[in-house]
Structure 1
Amino acid sequence: MTATAHHHYRYTPHPLHAILLAGTVPLFLGALLSDIAYFRTYEIQWNNFASWLIVGGLVFLGFALLFALVNLIRAVHKKGRPLIYFILLLVAWILGFINALEHAKDAWATMPSSLILSIIVSVLVCVAAWIGLSSLRDGGEA
């Protein structure tokens, strides 16, 4: 009788990964709130705040994306959840980068596209953080 060891993939984020992922949420939400403030007041400084918050969010999100890529490579046999998590982070980073380019325009030219992009990126980052930091495990364990 031959015994084979089954490698069960269990994902718990590395503490640095969790900090980077959790750090993206307030940065992108702050950018969204700054865009809303700019949309309501047209005070150019709100657009500048949003630009800097987006850059910070992209840095954090970029490193979290690297952790997610390593996690995806390690999860050879289980692609569902790690793949969805990686794709969410990748799409959020790409749209966040486009949003940073939108914010690089003249402040008057950024609305409403930068506000819409900030909403989309904030939602994507919140969903990705929920998936990445949730306690659901492989095999239906809680």
Structure 2
Amino acid sequence: MYSSGTASPIYRALPGPLHAILIAGTVPLFLGALLSDIAYFKTYQIQWSNFASWLIAGGLLFCGLALLFAIANLLGADRKAGRPLTYFLLVLITWVLGLLNAFEHAKDAWAAMPSSLVLSVIVTVLTFAATWLALTGLRSGDAE
């Protein structure tokens, strides 16, 4: 489709299937870690902290791979486009804070509270924002 007033089509690069799976896969992993931290905070059962640690490790793997796609997207993007840069920064900050959260979870379980719980909330919100930004790009013919 052509946009009104121009002779060339408008295309916004949406993530490819693998990129979309990776960025969307971070949501349940980091959300599961947050829910496990909440469960540990309420029950004092050490296994919830262990669950959170493993879920964070999986989230970091998915987020790190999505970060590689974000770098490639940033390098190929139009210099005037702010969306790829915003997406890259969101994924980068999510990964860095997720790594700090993994370090917090490496402590004794109760020593990690409440900082690991706070970090889990922040990382979960950031991963929701990054996923939303990645998957709601404009399609061909849409106006900005």
TM-score for both structures, normalised by structure 2: 0.89
The answer as to 2:132 corresponding to 1:130 is yes
Equivalences for 1:1-142 in 2 at 5 Å? Answer: 10-137=12-139, 140-141=142-143
Aligned mates of 1:128, 1:116 — CA distance in 2 = 18
SS in 1 for 2:130: helix
CA distance in 2 between counterparts of 1:10 and 1:135 reads 6
Number of the residue aligned with 2:5:
none
Q: Output the CA distance in 2 between the equivalents of 1:139 and 1:78.
A: 19
The higher relative CO (CA closer than 8 Å, separation ≥ 6) is in: 2
What do you get for the CA RMSD once the two structures are aligned? 2.0
Are the aligned partners of 2:57 and 2:102 in contact in 1 as well (CA < 8 Å)? yes
Q: Give the AA of the match of 1:118.
A: S
Distance 1:135 1:8, change over 3 A: closer
Preserved CA contact (<8 Å) 1:36 1:115: yes
Q: TM-score, normalised by structure 1?
A: 0.90
Q: Distance in 1 between matches of 2:133 and 2:116?
A: 25
- Match for 2:95: what amino acid? W
Please list the CA deviations of residues 4-37 of structure 1 after superposition, one character each: whole Å capped at 9, or x if unmatched.
Answer: xx89662111100000011000000000000000
Aligned pairs, how many?
138
Deviations 1:42-62 (A, max 9, x none): 100000000000000000000
Displaced runs of 4+ in structure 1, greater than 4 A? 6-9, 137-140
Percent of residue pairs bearing the same amino acid type:
66
